[in-house]
């Protein structure tokens, strides 16, 4: 079953703009992860944020986590055409068992 929902389901922006995707989840978590999937291919791990962290950066990526609202957001700054992909949040994994994914946000970055 799905843990939560990403919002929006699809996002289309121009190169150079920022892209923000949101994720909500239902149960308590130890951490939350974001993955990227290029069309029809495997998932690539982007960033993991632990439940005691509020914000984390990695290159052009910024992730926030609000455990009181059970939500997270992923910000991609200065988007590039190569960022075109689907982005998924996932909870669980490790000692919490299997990863549970949201339905994903499909990002299209137009050159």
Partner 1 sequence: KAGVTQTPRYLIKTRGQQVTLSCSPISGHRSVSWYQQTPGQGLQFLFEYFSETQRNKGNFPGRFSGRQFSNSRSEMNVSTLELGDSALYLCASSLVGDPGKQYFGPGTRLTVT
- Site residues, partner 1 (CB under 8 A): 1-2, 30-31, 33, 35, 40-45, 48, 50, 88, 92-94, 96-104
* Least Å from the CB of residue 22 to partner 1: 16
Bridge partners (DSSP) of residue 88 are: 35
**Nearest approach, Cβ of residue 32 and partner 1 (Å):** 9
How open is the CA angle 27-56-51, to the nearest 5 degrees?
25
Q: By C-beta, is 43 or 76 nearer to partner 1?
A: 43
- Distance between CA atoms of residues 41 and 93, nearest Å: 21
Least spacing, CB of residue 17 vs partner 1, in Å: 27
């Amino acid at each position: 079953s799905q843990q939560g929902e990403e919002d929006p389901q699809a996002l289309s922006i121009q190169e150079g703009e920022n892209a923000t995707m949101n994720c909500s989840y239902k149960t308590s978590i130890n951490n939350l992860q974001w993955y990227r999937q290029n069309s029809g291919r495997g998932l690539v791990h982007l960033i993991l944020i632990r439940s005691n962290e509020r914000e984390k950066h990695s290159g052009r990526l910024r992730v926030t986590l609000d455990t009181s609202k059970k939500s997270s957001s992923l910000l991609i700054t200065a988007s590039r055409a190569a960022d075109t992909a689907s982005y998924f949040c996932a909870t669980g994994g490790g000692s919490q068992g299997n990863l549970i994914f949201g339905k994903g946000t499909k990002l299209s970055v137009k050159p």
